[in-house]
A = this chain, B = another copy of it.
Amino acid sequence: MSARISFFALMFFALQGCTNVPVRGTGDLGVVIERTTGSIEIIETSNRSVLGHVSGLGDLSHASVNYSRDGRYAYVFGRDGGLTKVDLLKMCVVKRVMQSGNSIGGAISQDGRLVAVANYTPGGVKVFDSATLDLVADIPALDATGQLSKVVGLVDAPGNRFVWSLFNSGEIWVGDLKNPAHPVLQKFTGIGKEPYDGVITADGRYYMAGLFGEDGLALLDLWHQEAGVKRVLNHYGRGEQKLPVFKMPHMEGWAATGNELLVPAVGRHEVLVIDENNWQEVAHIPVHGQPVFVVARPDNRQVWVNFAFPDNDTVQVIDVPSRSIVQTLKPGKGVLHMEFTPRGESVWVSARDDNKLTIYDSETYTVQGELTADNPSGIFFTHRANRTGL
């Protein structure tokens, strides 16, 4: 009899758990931020379709997404300090916490157990258990004088560490979260004026902070932290003439192509080629406008570039070996982001003002599909769960 009850219990749970939930893999899923409606669109890249929407995520301007290590859950970081855990299979909000007044993105630890958020107000980093969203560490960004600083450029690094920058005080901090109850902090001060964003190379070795208050980049080699933070690319930035900058370029997604790094110039219509061995600029490639994202195709053969207003209807493709523009595309009005499928055969492009996503074959540039989305901005595929710094 008890066996019989267990049987019906089993059937019941089998039906309850699964009625609306398709059994499917999560390796080809992704999320598109719909910034004005506070919702996300869940898509899949195998048949290039929209699976559904999840709303109630708050202010999603400048929102970004990380994924759980199993690819099932998206952690959505909103501008209003909201952190929302979304189940991509059930397409619903699992949990949502308002963790600060104003935040600027986050990162997930190497082991997938911790989600860290960079906050402007109050300035600091909060770290949450990725399963429960319980707060496990609260690290205020206090400088030596006791002032709070805005936190920017937060990334994950190998060894369950996070790295971030303090905008107001000009510092880079490395936080070892192997024991979240006792974060071990290493602080680098005087790294430059007003770091505004940061990026870590795909191997998790080099962390770079862009400076808003002066030219140059602050570089930290995480394999040799004893060497401290160095200044590289001294002319990188807005330059002597303080050119009008319509949008500071994003650092996430800087295109590392083996020995070279291709980065957007600030204010100028150029993509810069940097030798990663000596951090010198070895070339600059004229492009259509002020570059915003400079993203390498996964095979590093091509780099795709989008632009700030008024050139934000255009995407250009650079052939890396010849450093030449091989294609100019017009995906729509307000192109905000580009995301490659993990093996690079396709690239998805969001056009905010046309409410659409365009999917290109990255070899032939033919359009493989178009989908609607409400004012789409960032596009994030689940393979990011398996990469450092994404």
Contact = CB atoms under 8 A, between A and B. Distances in A.
Interface of A: 3-4, 7, 10-11, 14, 17-21, 23-29, 44-46, 67-73, 88-90, 110-112, 158-160, 203-205, 223, 258-259, 277, 298-301, 321, 342-345, 363, 382-383, 385-388
14 contacts: A7-B11, A10-B11, A10-B14, A10-B20, A11-B19, A14-B14, A23-B89, A27-B72, A158-B301, A203-B298, A203-B300, A258-B258, A342-B385, A343-B387
B203 A28 contact: no
A345 B178 CA distance: 11
A299 B200 CA distance: 12
A383 to B, nearest CB: 4
Nearest to A383: B386
Contacts of A26: 25-27, 70-71
Given A69-B28, A387-B343, A388-B299, A23 B14 contact: no
A181 to B, nearest CB: 18
A343 B388 contact: yes
Contacts of A68: 25, 27
8 closest A-B pairs by beta carbon, nearest first, are: A25-B72, A27-B71, A25-B70, A342-B386, A25-B26, A25-B71, A28-B70, A383-B386
A14 B7 contact: yes
Given A112-B46, A158-B299, A300-B203, A20 B25 contact: no
A367 to B, nearest CB: 16
A105 B45 CA distance: 26
A203 B258 contact: yes
A255 to B, nearest CB: 12
Contact of A70 (B7, B27, B69, B223): B27
A37 to B, nearest CB: 26
A322 to B, nearest CB: 11
Given A25-B73, A383-B386, A386-B386, 12 more contacts: A25-B88, A26-B26, A27-B67, A27-B70, A27-B71, A27-B385, A158-B363, A159-B363, A203-B299, A204-B299, A205-B300, A223-B301
* Best-surrounded residue of A17, A73, A205, A342 (most CB of chain B within 10 A): A342
Given A71-B25, A160-B345, A298 B10 contact: no
A205 B25 contact: no
A316 to B, nearest CB: 20
B4 A345 contact: no
Given A46-B70, A72-B25, A14 B11 contact: yes
A23 B159 CA distance: 30
A328 B48 CA distance: 47
A223 to B, nearest CB: 7
A155 to B, nearest CB: 13
A88 B3 CA distance: 28
A71 B69 contact: no
A387 B27 CA distance: 12
Nearest to A71: B27
Specify which of A10, A72, A345, A386 lies most central, judged by the most chain B CB atoms within 10 Å of its CB.
Answer: A386
A114 to B, nearest CB: 12
Nearest to A298: B388
Contacts of A386: 27, 342-343, 383, 386
